[in-house]
Structure 1
């Protein structure tokens, strides 16, 4: 999925680079850099960093939760949540089979938290079967079984193309969980994109989950960081786990300051990223290619998944050709994307301009035509 490319060599050749690998590569805005310079700081392990405290208070209020905690990444936030909720040996969590915590967090729930994962097949919209969820929950487990201790959902759903999961489904998951006194955690790395898509406050999106995390990096443009929120008792335990994982910040206000800027100026503008992604998706769909397919109706936010007929095209070859600019190419643009299995992924973010989108579409059309 990740490939080292000599970007400097390409840039020095005068070729335009449009990097659509991920919104994780977004860089802080000038306002964020200024806020970092001027941030009031203290030792956050002692809860004495005023900027971190302000960010945590603001995020808790935004999400409608009692408290929030600033952590280094969404992966750390998810791991901490698992370790707090699944606090007895022999615990099990339930996740969709395309969930980020299951597929892309190095199995940390197992090899660090010691928690077993039971998976349910994700539907194309990021949901999973409630009937299967009921079956997966272990009722009164005997000594041979793990204990079901947590259910994890994801919103937006990365591997389902950045789709926003239905709120009605989240409510039903919560109801099933409540029947068995099991908490629900939302991996909401891009939940602000979901809030913008639904035109609803973030607190509504997380009303039916016990805990939630979201990234300040990615589309919001901060250089680093994620927020984890829940009840006061949950966050108290989460701070202990964060410290054990080496995540105790010291003068972290310089990193929290961009988060406050992001909440003021970067959330509503996510709609621009959604417009850009949809424009790219429509351009590919309009080619009517039998080899390259995009579900335009499923492009809710800033992620475009292009499915390939792998019997005719190797996704890695397509990815490489998008990045390559030959002397004879009429389009002097290098488009960077990520690739896995039978698809490539294109992700927009605040530094991707209207011109970038137009140039990327031009290059994609040319390469699709070649294949």
Structure 2
């Protein structure tokens, strides 16, 4: 299948599978899994944090961060389009009793700090306690500039807030900006990093923070059913992804640009050309029945998610030839 639905559909390579097969394992709940311990030690050094925690998913890592930063009745501020507000099942409210305060994202994906400041609650028993600002980078395929991240750090310091990064695709941002990942993560008190999207691992995310925050998150991970036993085979895949699959993200970005340029020339489609990473967003004319088109292409082994605005995602299992196949199939059906 040629699958444009998400970069979560990536499959482990033979070399990654070999690393998984050969990984030494133990019981991670007891702290005895050497491969998990090696991954967490590697992550501490790689991202320049004092502590790291291996998690089963990005949703879990984000929720653990929120629950470690906030207590019951506290509040976090995020974007209206933030994944940990819009796409994670309301976990902060349901499981953490934490109130989200969404702010409308600007067109570039950022949050206006004047709007954020206006949303911070006063020290009054009528209100939740505002504790945290959560940003996402990339967000909708858009990259938040380093200057903006520095401003965010100054803002939270001024307002006595903590700062979390949903960095599910932070490496895409770093590759696009041509900087080391620490140029992004250094501004934050906690960071989640997904290993199972463009990096190609089959499962897993990392949460990074201070030892105190990670100790608290580790406890909440157990409470939430996230204590894994012989997880070393999965951790080995994550470490392989970090060591081998970061620089190749630029191939995904180049393929996305190629797809965007070609699709924008196809009759009936208009592409947002402002994205610079691995996501292509397109609108289409009313004459196109997108549901029928999706079903027709599925029969040809091509998958995409039909919606009012198309999102097409490139990843390590999408080649330039796959894109041409997709475009030719589209042209034949419109």
Distance 1:299 1:73 in 2: 25
Give the structure 2 partner of residue 155 of structure 1: 137
Could you list the runs of 5+ residues in structure 1 that have no partner in the other structure?
Answer: 1-16, 325-332
Distance 1:57 1:267 in 2: 18
TM-score for the superposition, normalised by structure 2: 0.96
Give the structure 2 partner of residue 295 of structure 1: 272
Secondary structure of the equivalent of 1:233? helix
Residue 252 of structure 2 is aligned with which of 273, 291, 302? Answer: 273
The C-alpha deviation readout for 1:246-269, integer Å capped at 9, x for no partner, is 111111111101112111211111
Secondary structure of the equivalent of 1:246? coil
Give the structure 1 partner of residue 172 of structure 2: 193
Q: Structure 1 residues 313 and 362, CA, compared in 2 at 3 Å: closer, same or farther?
A: closer
Residue 6 of structure 2 is aligned with which of 6, 18, 22? Answer: 22
How much has 1:322 moved relative to structure 2?
Answer: 3.6
Give the structure 2 partner of residue 44 of structure 1: 28
How much has 1:195 moved relative to structure 2?
Answer: 1.2
Distance 2:61 2:12 in 1: 21
Secondary structure of the equivalent of 1:224? coil
Could you list the runs of 5+ residues in structure 2 that have no partner in the other structure?
Answer: none
Residue 77 of structure 1 is aligned with which of 61, 76, 93? Answer: 61
Residue 318 of structure 2 is aligned with which of 352, 357, 369? Answer: 352
Give the structure 2 partner of residue 183 of structure 1: 162
Q: Structure 1 residues 150 and 318, CA, compared in 2 at 3 Å: closer, same or farther?
A: farther
Alignment of 1:36-185 (within 5 A): 36-87=20-71, 89-140=72-123, 142-157=124-139, 160=140, 162-185=141-164
Q: Give yes or no for contact 1:96–1:153 (8 Å, CA) kept in 2.
A: yes
RMSD in angstroms over aligned alpha carbons? 1.5
Distance 1:274 1:24 in 2: 16
Q: Structure 1 residues 339 and 186, CA, compared in 2 at 3 Å: closer, same or farther?
A: farther
Secondary structure of the equivalent of 1:112? helix
Distance 1:112 1:122 in 2: 25
How much has 1:194 moved relative to structure 2?
Answer: 1.1
Residue 31 of structure 1 is aligned with which of 15, 23, 48? Answer: 15
Give the structure 2 partner of residue 337 of structure 1: 304
Q: Give yes or no for contact 1:315–1:343 (8 Å, CA) kept in 2.
A: no
How much has 1:232 moved relative to structure 2?
Answer: 1.1
Distance 1:20 1:266 in 2: 19
Give the structure 2 partner of residue 251 of structure 1: 230
How much has 1:96 moved relative to structure 2?
Answer: 0.5
Secondary structure of the equivalent of 2:203? coil
Q: Give yes or no for contact 1:51–1:256 (8 Å, CA) kept in 2.
A: yes
How much has 1:286 moved relative to structure 2?
Answer: 2.0
The C-alpha deviation readout for 1:122-169, integer Å capped at 9, x for no partner, is 1122101111011111132x1111110111110111xx3x11111211
Give the structure 2 partner of residue 329 of structure 1: none
Give the structure 2 partner of residue 9 of structure 1: none
1:237 aligns with 2:216: yes
Q: What is the total number of aligned residue pairs between the two structures?
A: 334
How much has 1:113 moved relative to structure 2?
Answer: 1.0
Give the structure 2 partner of residue 316 of structure 1: 291
Give the structure 2 partner of residue 286 of structure 1: 265
Distance 1:85 1:219 in 2: 28
TM-score for the superposition, normalised by structure 1: 0.86
Distance 2:58 2:278 in 1: 18
Runs of 4+ in 1 over 4 A off after TM superposition: 311-315
